[in-house]
């Protein structure tokens, strides 16, 4: 029971926050319980997005940081620096996204305005479209940033529903 084959699972962001949260938690409730720690623990990987370059964004459970329904967002083929800058991780953190957006804003305020409008639509669950994206020479690919943010917003809803973690994350992003 230590590792299951990855499960493909898609959520359309246009469904709305409550429906997305309900569908995801319902999926997690289908998981089989573990029989102990280490190899006896149940672990799950869910492929949730495919990028244009073929790499996948996936979530893993359990998260290890929190209990319950929490999960970790990971990206195939990409690495993100830890807050200390000493470790390379496959899981992006809020500070990675904030730093990347600051770079994009400095590079092209005009394109950043377009990007921020898309982020705001993702935040409000108004779109699942990731085409005709503004381009930047620096930082991570725009599609990657948007899809990571989609899942960071979902993660905040699962973990901090009663405290509006989604709103706190949105407020931490650089304004145009």
What is the number of domains present in the chain? 1
Query: Which percentage of the chain shows pLDDT scores above 90?
Result: 66
pLDDT band at 161 (very low <50, low <70, confident <90, very high): confident
Whole-number mean pLDDT of the chain? 90
| Selection from 146, 152, 156 nearest residue 118 by Cα | 146
Residue 7 has pLDDT above 80, yes or no: no
pLDDT at 4 over 70: no
The answer, yes or no, to whether residue 103 has pLDDT greater than 90, is: yes
Cα–chain center distance at 31: 21
Residue 47 forms part of a structural domain: yes
Residue 91 lies in a domain: yes
The answer to whether residue 1 is domain-embedded is: no
Q: Is the pLDDT of residue 3 over 60?
A: no
Which tens digits make up the pLDDT trace of 57-69? 999 998 876 667 8
pLDDT digits (tens, 9 = 90+) for 115-158: 999 999 999 999 888 889 999 999 999 999 999 999 999 999 99
The pLDDT score that the predictor gives to residue 160 is 86
Secondary structure, 3-state, 97-142: HHHHHHHHHHHCHHHHHHHHHHHHHHHCCCCCCCCCCCCCCCCCCH
141 within some domain: yes
- Asked if residues 34 and 42 have their Cβ atoms less than 8 Å apart, the reply is yes
User: Within a domain: residue 153?
Assistant: yes
Query: According to the model, what pLDDT value does residue 157 have?
Result: 92
Q: Is residue 157 in some structural domain? A: yes
Specify if 2 maps to a domain: no
Structural domain range at position 133? 7-172
**Within a domain: 132:** yes
The share of the chain scoring above pLDDT 70, in percent, equals 95
pTM higher than the cut 0.85: yes
């Amino acid at each position: 029971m230590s590792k299951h084959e990855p499960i493909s699972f898609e959520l359309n962001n246009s469904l709305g926050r409550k429906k997305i949260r309900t569908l995801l938690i319902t999926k997690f409730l289908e998981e089989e319980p573990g029989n102990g720690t280490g190899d006896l623990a149940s672990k799950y990987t869910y492929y949730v997005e495919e990028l244009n370059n073929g790499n996948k964004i996936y979530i893993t459970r359990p998260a290890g940081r929190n209990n319950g329904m929490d999960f970790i967002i990971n990206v195939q083929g990409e690495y993100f620096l830890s807050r200390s800058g000493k470790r390379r991780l496959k899981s992006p953190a809020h500070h990675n996204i904030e730093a990347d957006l600051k770079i994009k804003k400095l590079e092209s305020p005009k394109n950043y305005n377009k990007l921020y409008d898309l982020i705001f639509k993702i935040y409000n669950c108004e779109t699942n479209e990731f085409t005709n994206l503004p381009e930047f020479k620096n930082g991570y690919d725009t599609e990657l940033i948007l899809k990571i943010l989609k899942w960071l917003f979902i993660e905040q809803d699962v973990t901090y529903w009663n405290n509006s973690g989604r709103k706190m994350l949105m407020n931490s992003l650089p304004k145009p």
